[in-house]
């Protein structure tokens, strides 16, 4: 009888403790430190794949989002899945003479951009000796020149308000050698130099600049590539310590972290989202 009483008392004590924890959770800063409420995020290449996943995660965290890309059908479909607070603008970031008009339009219709995600990319799989100067320039114009022009135009407003985040989508090709992607690897490596320089210039003015380096992520593009090359997929999995491909949401939530107050002392960083492949053997 006494044993039953002691157990009952313990249960009451546990219930009281659980209630206190639950009560304190209501005032905990944990959820709000990841909140992006009040932010306006512009995501290039936001209609599909990793770009869309970042847009969805930023939107779920409370930000209003504007997706930018060349294909309206994909942008419209992506925005429809998010609903209120999501919109899009059709724009090719390599047309730098039109970028100022894009930024002006977005500012006029939605307010100033407080979170810029430079995600738009162009891939080229080709041997280095067969890659022409024009092909090389086409890749650089998307990843570097286009991203720089957009950054150049939104950064002054961020520094004036002393508030803003700029995020770049880097790559495993930024970190180690991958064959047959000389233009892409060069562009992504140059991107890290841009992140580091921008962070030193802008961070004193309240603007943080970081990069995410996705590993091999399960996307429509990767599925198509693996469909005709199963040996490549097996090789990638064997070199990934977590022995699987990543999900696009893994990159999306990393973008939320780097854009949120939780990362307020993080700038100039490159965050691999790769299941350990960049440090595995």
pLDDT above 90 for 4? no
Q: What is the mean pLDDT of residues 30-41?
A: 92
Instruction: Walk me through the domains of the chain, giving residue ranges and CATH numbers.
Output: 31-219+249-272 (3.40.50.720)
As a whole number of angstroms, the distance between CA 38 and CA 32 comes to 12
**What pLDDT digit, counting tens, does each position of 94-104 carry?**
999 999 999 99
Query: Mean pLDDT, the chain, as a whole number?
Result: 90
pLDDT above 80 for 12? no
Q: Please report which confidence band the pLDDT of residue 148 belongs to, taking 50, 70 and 90 as the band edges.
A: very high
Q: What is the mean pLDDT of residues 143-149?
A: 98
Based on the residue annotation, tell me whether 184 is a catalytic residue of this protein.
yes
pLDDT above 60 for 275? yes
**Residues near 26 by beta carbon (within 8 Å), at least 6 away in sequence:** none
Looking at the DSSP bridge assignments, the partners of residue 202 are: none
Q: Please report which confidence band the pLDDT of residue 27 belongs to, taking 50, 70 and 90 as the band edges.
A: low
pTM for the whole structure: 0.87
Q: Which of 40-44, 92-96, 195-199, 230-234 has the lowest average pLDDT? A: 230-234
pLDDT above 90 for 199? yes
């Amino acid at each position: 009888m006494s044993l039953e009483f002691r157990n009952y008392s313990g249960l009451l004590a546990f219930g009281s403790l659980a209630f206190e924890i639950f009560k304190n959770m209501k005032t905990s800063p944990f959820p709000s430190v990841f909140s992006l409420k009040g932010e306006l995020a512009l995501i290039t290449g936001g209609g599909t794949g990793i770009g869309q996943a970042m847009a969805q995660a930023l939107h779920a965290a409370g930000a209003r989002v504007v997706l930018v890309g060349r294909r309206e059908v994909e942008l419209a479909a992506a925005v429809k899945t998010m609903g209120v607070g999501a919109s899009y603008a059709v724009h090719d970031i390599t047309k730098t003479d039109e970028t100022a008009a894009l930024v002006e339009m977005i500012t006029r219709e939605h307010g100033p951009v407080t979170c810029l995600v430079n995600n738009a990319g162009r891939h080229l799989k080709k041997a280095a000796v067969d890659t022409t100067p024009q092909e090389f320039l086409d890749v650089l114009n998307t990843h570097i020149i286009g991203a720089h022009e957009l950054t150049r135009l939104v950064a002054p407003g961020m520094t004036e308000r002393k508030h803003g985040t700029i995020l770049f989508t880097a790559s495993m090709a930024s970190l180690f050698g991958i064959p047959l992607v000389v233009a892409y690897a060069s562009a992504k490596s140059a991107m890290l130099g841009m992140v580091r320089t921008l962070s030193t210039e802008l961070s004193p003015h309240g603007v943080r600049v970081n990069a995410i380096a996705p590993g091999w992520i399960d996307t429509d593009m990767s599925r198509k590539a693996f469909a005709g090359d199963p040996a490549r997929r097996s090789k990638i999995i064997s070199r990934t310590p977590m022995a699987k491909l990543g999900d696009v949401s893994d990159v999306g939530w990393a973008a939320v972290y780097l854009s949120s107050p939780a990362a307020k002392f993080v700038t100039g960083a490159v965050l691999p989202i790769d299941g350990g492949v960049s440090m595995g053997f």
